[in-house]
Amino acid sequence: MDTNKFNGTNYNDWLWNLRNTLDFENQGYVLDKPLPTASPEGSSPEERVTFEKWLKDNHKVCSIILASMTNNIQKQYHRLDDVPAIMLYMKEVYAVHDRHVRYAATKSFFGTKMAEGSSVQSHGVKMLSLVEKLEDLKAGLDNDTYIDVILKSLPPSYDPFIINYNMNGLEKSIHELINMLVQYEAMTHKSATAVLVGEVSTSKAKGKRVGRWKRKKGKGKAVAATTRSEGVPAAPKGKGKGKVGGSQQSKANDFEAFRRFKEYRLEVENQTGREIKALRSDRGEEYLSSEFIDYLNENGILSQWTPPGTPQLNDVAERRNRTLLDMIRSMMSFTELPPSFWGYAIETAAKLLNMAPSKMVPQTPYEIWHGKPASYKYLRVWGSPAYVKRLVGDTLDSRSSMCR
C-alpha cells in the first residue's frame, strides 16, 4: 500500500489493492458489513465474540486506510472511526463509474499492439493484466475473444505462429497461449516468413481481394491497389519473401514497407502500363507514417483506410484468406513435410489461384500480368519427391540427387 497511496485520482486501483491486502488478513469483510448489533444482556456468546472481533478489525482497518492515503486526504477522514462510513464518503467523492472504467479498459485492451522486436513475455503480462481487469469489471468477453485480440496484437513476425494456431484448431487458456508465444520467440529468434498474395484482373469485382489489382471500368490506364496486413500477410511487413503475380520481393523488416511500395509501384506501372490510383489498408502503422502519406499525396494516390475493428467490410479478402488456409491445410495433411514448410505451401496455393481459370473473368491474373497464358506442364503434386541435377560427378554416377 505504501507504493500506491490514494491521492484522489486512483480510487479504483487503490480500492483493489486495499481489498487484496485486507483479504490476506481476513479483514476484508469490514469494508462492506456494518457494525453488528450486540447488547450485553440479550446477546449470545457467539454474537458477543463477533461484535468484539468486528470492533478490533474495524480499528485496524481504519489505521490501514488512513496510512494508505496522502497527508492532505488523511485530514478529511481522521475523525471517522467507522470503516463503512469512510468507504461510503470516499465512494461518493472519488469513485469512477464502472461504465467509464470498463470503456477505458476495453479501449486499452483492443488498442494495445506489440512493437516488433520487443519482448512477447512483457506484452503477454500486460495483456493478461488487462484481461483480469475486464473480468473484474464483468465486461462479458469470452476466452476465445481474449485469445483473438491477443493474437491480433502481435507484430507480423508472429504470423506463422497465428496461422499454425488457427489451422490446428488449438484451444488454450491465456496463460498457455503466452507460454507458447514465449517458446516460439525463443525458437525463432523473432524471425518469420511472410508471403504476399497477388492477383491481377481487368474485370470489376464485387469486392476487393487480397493484393487485388483492378482496372477502373472504361479507363484501362488506371488500377486500384488493395493491400491487407492481417490474416495471411498481404503487405510488405516482416522478414522474409513476398510473391505478387509471380514476382519475388525481398523484405528486410517493417521499416522497408515504404521503399518496397515504391519499388512495387514502378514494377507494376512498367509491366502493366497502368497507374495506381488508391492504396487500401487496414490502418497498419507502416502505412500511416508522414513519409508514406506525403508520398501518396505527391503522386495523387488515395489512401483508403478501413474502419478499425470491421473485417466484414473486406469480406472478399477474408474469404480468400480462408480459402488459402483451407488449401494449405489440405496440402500439408497429404505430405510428411514439417510445419515449417507452410510458407512454401501458401506460396504454391497463391500461384495456383492466380493461374486457375474462372468464369468471373475472361483472363486469369497470370495472363494479365505476364501477357501470355500460363503453362501447367511443370506442375506436380505438392509434396512429390524432387530431384536436382548434379553439376559435378563421375561418368557412372547418377545424374541427379533426391532433395531432402
pLDDT value, residue 204 = 41
Paired residues of 222 in beta bridges: 275
Residues 139 and 157 in one domain: yes
Give tens-digit pLDDT for 286-304.
777 778 888 888 888 988 8
Residues 206 and 321 in one domain: yes
Using alpha carbons, list the distances in angstroms from residue 291 to 164, 216, 295: 34, 27, 6
Which structural domain range is residue 172 located in? Answer: 98-188
Strands 240-244 and 387-389: unpaired
Residues in the chain where the model's pLDDT stays below 50: 190-254
Residues 50 and 22 in one domain: yes
* 159-167 vs 315-333: helix crossing angle, rounded to 10: 70
pLDDT value, residue 41 = 61
Question: Taking the CB of residue 181, how many other CB atoms lie within 10 A of it?
Answer: 21
Burial of 197 per CB tally in 10 Å (0-12, 13-18, 19+): buried
Question: Going by C-beta distance under 8 Å and a sequence separation of 6 or more, which residues neighbour residue 12?
Answer: 95, 96, 101
Give tens-digit pLDDT for 187-220.
875 443 333 333 333 344 444 444 444 434 334 3
pTM value is 0.36
Q: Among candidates 387, 377, 369, 116, which has minimal Cα distance to 243?
A: 369
Residues 337 and 230 in one domain: yes
Burial of 364 per CB tally in 10 Å (0-12, 13-18, 19+): buried
Residues 267 and 304 in one domain: yes
Q: How many domains does the chain have?
A: 3
Taking the C-alpha atoms of residue 48 and residue 30, their distance in angstroms, rounded to an integer, is: 16
The answer to whether residue 302 sits within a structural domain is yes
pLDDT value, residue 2 = 60
Domain containing residue 210: CATH number: 3.30.420
Structural contact between residues 224 and 214, judged by C-beta atoms closer than 8 angstroms? yes
Tell which of 153, 188, 223 closes a domain: 188
Residues 166 and 204 in one domain: no
